[in-house]
Amino acid sequence: MLLAGIILLGACKRKAYEIGNDSTADSAAVVADTSANISKLVKTADIRFKVKNVEQTSEGISALTLKFNGMVTHHAMTSLAEQSHDVRLNNDSVMRVSAFTTSADMTVKIPTEKIDDFLNTVSHMGIYVNERRMDIEDRSLDYLSAQMKLNSRRELIARQKSGKVVIKDPDAVLNLKDDLVDEQINNRRIDNEVKYSVISLNFYQSNTISKEVVANDDPADYNLPFFKRLGMAFSNGWFLLGELVISLMNLWAVLLFGACTWIVIRVVVKRKVKPTI
């Protein structure tokens, strides 16, 4: 009986071990199958090209984006004056001639299956393409990792709700739920990146010349006529002469004192000189 019990116990252990191995193999097979079915390819593209008119091209790209069921997420257009020259027309106005360079930056999101058609259509809008590039990033493993973590957290939360697992720290439960939300958001972000490709566009045009008549902002050009300035100079000179005379009259006491001092010195000097002779 003892020998039969030992044999039976060994058989049960061997059976449990085999079942455990089969379960592990099945789990690995499920993970491998899930990994094989998940394909998350994120496509991004950049293009730089020259156009005839930046403003018209911007409008065309916006219309094309709507046609492809996309969305413009960024649009900026700049015009910078590289050179400027003023031609004087008269004392009051000048003609300002400026050379402007105009460029624009746009960022659009296009359905991934239409990215090639969009890039080809945009390329035909320009005179020539300086640079065109498309990158593909495989996010399948990131997505699979987030999905597996998400399932693990869901299972743990379900066990905690059913009472099979007791988590005493409320902060730990809250952190677990926050991680669950983060993984869900991360997977949705990857899904959105896979569904819509981000394309960055930069285009420019040749320098343009702008002519405009503006007010003369140089104060030195606003002078009175010659004869009027001459009359004002004569009047100012007479005024300054009068002010000088008045200033000297205000100093009469100083002048009188100086004259008396000079006379006294002269008399004293003469008296000293006579005995010597």
Q: What is the pLDDT of residues 98-128, one digit of tens each?
A: 888 999 999 999 999 999 999 999 999 999 9
Res 30: pLDDT: 44
Q: Where are the beta strands (DSSP E) in the chain?
A: 41-50, 71-88, 93-111, 128-138, 196-204, 208-215
Q: Which pLDDT band holds residue 15 (cuts at 50, 70, 90)?
A: very low
**DSSP structure string for 177-242:** HHHHHHHHHHHHHHHHHHHEEEEEEEEE---EEEEEEEE---GGG----HHHHHHHHHHHHHHHHH
Q: What does the alpha-carbon distance between residue 59 and residue 35 come to, in Å, rounded to a whole number?
A: 43
Comparing CA positions, the residue from 79, 83, 120 lying closest to residue 98 is 83
Res 105: pLDDT: 95
Res 238: pLDDT: 81
> Tokens in use for 64?
């094309």
Q: What does the alpha-carbon distance between residue 98 and residue 85 come to, in Å, rounded to a whole number?
A: 6
> How many residues are present in the chain?
277
Q: Which pLDDT band holds residue 220 (cuts at 50, 70, 90)?
A: low
pTM of the model: 0.60
Is 90 within 8 Å of 128 (Cβ atoms)? no
Comparing 24-33, 77-86, 212-221, which segment has the lowest mean pLDDT? 24-33
Q: Which helix (H) or strand (E) holds 156?
A: helix 140-162
| Per-residue pLDDT at 38 exceeds 70 | yes
Q: Which pLDDT band holds residue 24 (cuts at 50, 70, 90)?
A: very low
Is 58 within 8 Å of 132 (Cβ atoms)? no
Res 31: pLDDT: 45
Q: Which pLDDT band holds residue 21 (cuts at 50, 70, 90)?
A: very low
Q: Which pLDDT band holds residue 270 (cuts at 50, 70, 90)?
A: confident
| Per-residue pLDDT at 136 exceeds 90 | yes
| Residues 125, 130, 135: CA angle, nearest 5 degrees | 95
